[in-house]
Amino acid sequence: MRCELWTSDTAEEHEGEFDRWLRGEPCSTMPVTVLIAEVDGAPVGFAEVGLRSHADGCDPRHAVGYLEGWFVHQLQRRRGVGRALVEAGMAWAREHGCREFASDTWADAQHSIDAHQRLGFERVDKCVNFRRDL
């Protein structure tokens, strides 16, 4: 499912990252969790949720829960699976003292933008990110 969500990374890269998570060595110094949705015992979706020190549009005085990744198989969409994953992620963030929950998506991913808005997220920014080697 990670390969379907993050297509720019190889299966080996996803496997390596997930192996680090299972060993308790995530690539973050802040707490993270993975939530899995199942239907009839088969995985149909997941959410990766973490804490961040800040997020655009959120109060910078408090850590924020962050929906790092969110995927539901096509045939299970619009059936409440994604909502249940996000709500479980928000509950996890609340348990870790967060007052806000944030997420992001690509500017051209209209299906993702629509899904976020259906769940009550509000758009706070429209940004283009840059980088360069030093």
> Chain-centre distance of CA 40, in angstroms?
24
CA dist 124 and 105 (Å) reads 12
Q: Is residue 131 included in any domain, yes or no?
A: no
Q: Is residue 124 included in any domain, yes or no?
A: no
CA dist 46 and 34 (Å) reads 7
Query: Which tokens is 93 given?
Result: 């963030």
Query: DSSP 3-state assignment of 70?
Result: strand
Q: Is residue 129 included in any domain, yes or no?
A: no
Torsion angles phi and psi, residue 22, rounded to 5: -65, -30
Structurally, how many domains does the chain consist of? 1
Torsion angles phi and psi, residue 85, rounded to 5: -65, -45
C-alpha angle with apex 18: 12 to 19, nearest 5 degrees? 85
Q: Is residue 46 included in any domain, yes or no?
A: yes
Instruction: Return the CATH number at 81.
Output: 3.40.630.30
Higher per-residue pLDDT: 7 or 19? 19
Q: What is the pLDDT of residues 61-82, one digit of tens each?
A: 999 999 999 999 999 988 999 9
What residue numbers bound the domain in which 69 lies?
Answer: 2-118
Residue count of the chain: 134
Q: Is residue 133 included in any domain, yes or no?
A: no
Burial letters 30-50, b for 16+ CB under 10 A, else e: eebbbbebeeeeeebbbbbbb
Q: For the chain, give the percent of residues with pLDDT over 70.
A: 99
> Chain-centre distance of CA 33, in angstroms?
10
CA dist 64 and 50 (Å) reads 8
Query: Which tokens is 52 given?
Result: 């961040």
Q: What is the pLDDT of residues 49-59, one digit of tens each?
A: 999 998 988 99
